Structure 1
Amino acid sequence: MIPIQLTVFFMVIYVLESLIIMVQNSLIVAVLGREWAQAKRMSPVDMILISLSFCRFCLQWSSMLHNFCFYFNLDWVVWHVSVIWEFNNTLSFWLTGLLAVVYCVKLSSFTHPIFLWLRWRILRLVPWLLLGSLLISCGTIIFSAIRHHMSTKLSSMAHLPRNNTVVERLTSLVHNFMISQHLVMLTVPFLLFLASSILLIASLSQHLGQMQHHSTGHSNSSMKAQTTVLKSLSVVLIFFTSYFLMIFIATVDSLFAKSPWFWMWETIIYALVSIHSTSIMLSNPKLKKVLKVRCWGLEAA
């Protein structure tokens, strides 16, 4: 057992992280939404960023509701909020994967016919890909609602001695169904993100190597920009991969569920989300400019 003071400490840190994440994503939606209102049009990348930020805002609210209801045994609320959380989490994974694919296609220097075709078509396909991500995530609502309903029924039957064997088998079946659902719904978009990020890093590294052989005054500044982009991509890759692994571990193994370390685990998970959101903000020129002016009090570059 850990001291109650440490539990309260991690709980407070988790709440602060949640507020930071909601402020970050609200800022992204506000800045890009204002640009859309002024220009009367929106780039496909901005469409994905706004969708992702709004989704993460809702995800953090549902996460807070779910975690506090779960920890304080408000079971009549938990499964309803769990369905909302799983929908938002799945959608955020698909949107993150879609964002990585678009960046890879736009910024990579590969000349393979598939990349050339995608570069020509991807921006037109973004609205349809957003719709597809939404529809796929809506499918999780159906499966999650069925799974949570079955879990509730099995919990109510667990006290009957003669049904113990049947209940245990059905509980194991529901748990395996949950793992399979997450394996498909989260792993597929994560693999899209992983493949796109690695391809983009490989392409930029190759281009950076070519620039180093033809170094000039102008290319030095370009090399610095390329190096900054590579570092940013590496940070996003590391932290989003860590987030995926921790979410998957929490799903497969209930080691930290209602344990003294529950809030520490949640604090680590959403620290990764906050860092990923920060990386996205710093990689977007419009958002970076707002951060410099409003948050750091510096003049816009």
Structure 2
Amino acid sequence: MIPNQLTVFFMTIYLLESLTIIVQSSLIVAVLSREWVQVKRLSPVDMILISLGVCRFCLQWSSVLHNFCSYFNPDNELWYIGIIWEFTNTLAFWLTSLLAVVYCVKVSSFTYAIFLWLRWRILRLVPWLLLGSLMISCVTIIDSALRVVFIKSQLISRMQLPGNNTETETLISFLEKNYEHPLLAMSFIPFLLFLTSTILLIASLCQHLRQIRHHDTGHSNSSMKAHATALRFLAFFLIFFTSYFLTIIIFSTYNLTHKSYSFWASETIIYATVSIHLTSLMLSSPALKRVLKDSVSSSPHGISLIILVLFTLTY
């Protein structure tokens, strides 16, 4: 089928955003992997960032393949690509929440017993937490796959019976809504963990900033600037990841078809927030930030331009 002009416009923007996300994810994995080989060790935060980069890379490719194949070949069975998207999306939520928890425990100045215990344990537990996030996502995807099989079996048995097409469409709508609810619930759990950790970290930094202003030491100006920069980054991080979660929730409540321009508009909004969120993640790692800055002056002009654009989005 031939798309209209508005659909083509949103398709183009979506494709450009997807390419940007794929490049960003590849840079995260490539740069941190090279750092790992050179230094022979990797910080827990960088472990999470590499895992998140791989996850986002697979997530975006599955999104592109599923969306364009469903548009140009709607009769083709692509449920397995949708399952890959659901798996990587759930894993991305858990990895992002894990990153927020690590930042909160590592940076916050709270002296409660639970924070002191976590601060002592959390960095050693990161590899196990990564494995746990992977296992939870696998369990979720097994449940999703079983639901897909159930939906298809119900539809096949319904198609073989004589009856009204309206009843069949009602059954399809009912099954799709009941299929999406568990997926949204599983995304809400890591998002709530992310939200709690980020708000606690912002509260801790604000409290520390007030203490610095109260004591007014000689190093207060540099400390205040560092805290203000950290607060801006956290606010940026919170706003765009929350926007990503909310847009997925909002647009998943509407059964938008791939043929409508509204579907491609929603995809454009969702992955715009992902691209900006990935930019903030890239700048959260000192190793990644240092290597990228060096690459701006030493890389070929094309790569330098890409990296320069990524930094410009944040500053």
TM-score (norm 1): 0.91
Amino acid at match of 2:176: H
Is 1:117 matched with 2:90? no
Q: How far 1:114 sits from its partner (Å)?
A: 0.5
Report SS of the residue matched to 1:283: coil
Q: Which of 47-56 and 176-185 deviates more? A: 176-185
Contact 1:246 1:269 in 2 (8 A): yes
Contact 1:239 1:275 in 2 (8 A): yes
Instruction: Measure, in 1, the Cα distance between the counterparts of 2:261 and 2:87.
Output: 27
Is 1:107 matched with 2:107? yes
Aligned match of 1:197:
198
Aligned match of 2:282:
281
Instruction: Measure, in 2, the Cα distance between the counterparts of 1:164 and 1:9.
Output: 34
Amino acid at match of 1:37: V
Q: How far 1:170 sits from its partner (Å)?
A: 4.8
C-alpha distance after superposition, 1:188-221 (max 9, x if no partner): 0000000000000000011011111122442211
Q: How does 1:4-83 map to 2 (within 5 A)?
A: 4-83=4-83
Contact 1:55 1:88 in 2 (8 A): yes
Contact 1:147 1:174 in 2 (8 A): no
Aligned match of 1:243:
244
Contact 2:95 2:130 in 1 (8 A): yes
Contact 2:258 2:264 in 1 (8 A): no
Amino acid at match of 1:263: W
Q: How far 1:10 sits from its partner (Å)?
A: 1.3
Contact 2:67 2:258 in 1 (8 A): no
Amino acid at match of 1:226: H
Contact 2:65 2:81 in 1 (8 A): yes
Q: How far 1:167 sits from its partner (Å)?
A: 4.6
Instruction: Measure, in 2, the Cα distance between the counterparts of 1:132 and 1:16.
Output: 33
Count of paired positions = 297
Instruction: Measure, in 2, the Cα distance between the counterparts of 1:69 and 1:78.
Output: 8
C-alpha distance after superposition, 1:157-188 (max 9, x if no partner): 35854376875675455334323312331000
Instruction: Measure, in 1, the Cα distance between the counterparts of 2:258 and 2:234.
Output: 32
Instruction: Measure, in 2, the Cα distance between the counterparts of 1:11 and 1:159.
Output: 37
Aligned match of 1:95:
95
C-alpha distance after superposition, 1:88-133 (max 9, x if no partner): 0000000000000000000000011000100011111111111111
Identity of aligned residues (%): 65
Contact 1:55 1:91 in 2 (8 A): yes
Contact 1:69 1:75 in 2 (8 A): no
Contact 2:100 2:197 in 1 (8 A): yes
Is 1:131 matched with 2:131? yes
Unaligned runs of 5+ in 1: none
Q: Which of 125-134 and 212-221 deviates more? A: 212-221
Amino acid at match of 2:294: V
Instruction: Measure, in 1, the Cα distance between the counterparts of 2:112 and 2:172.
Output: 49
Amino acid at match of 1:233: L
Q: Which of 137-146 and 203-212 deviates more? A: 137-146
Q: How far 1:46 sits from its partner (Å)?
A: 1.0
Instruction: Measure, in 2, the Cα distance between the counterparts of 1:215 and 1:258.
Output: 61
Q: How far 1:265 sits from its partner (Å)?
A: 1.0
Instruction: Measure, in 2, the Cα distance between the counterparts of 1:77 and 1:248.
Output: 25
Change (3 A) 1:70 1:8: same
Q: How far 1:251 sits from its partner (Å)?
A: 2.2
Instruction: Measure, in 2, the Cα distance between the counterparts of 1:211 and 1:50.
Output: 35
Change (3 A) 1:154 1:295: farther
TM-score (norm 2): 0.87
Unaligned runs of 5+ in 2: 298-303, 308-315
Change (3 A) 1:240 1:209: same
Change (3 A) 1:230 1:159: farther
**Aligned-residue CA RMSD in angstroms?**
2.3
Q: How far 1:284 sits from its partner (Å)?
A: 1.6
Q: How far 1:75 sits from its partner (Å)?
A: 4.0
Contact 1:52 1:96 in 2 (8 A): yes
Aligned match of 2:292:
291
Change (3 A) 1:40 1:91: same
Q: How does 1:247-266 map to 2 (within 5 A)?
A: 247-255=248-256, 258-266=259-267
Report SS of the residue matched to 1:253: coil
Report SS of the residue matched to 2:283: helix
Contact 2:105 2:119 in 1 (8 A): yes
Change (3 A) 1:295 1:258: farther
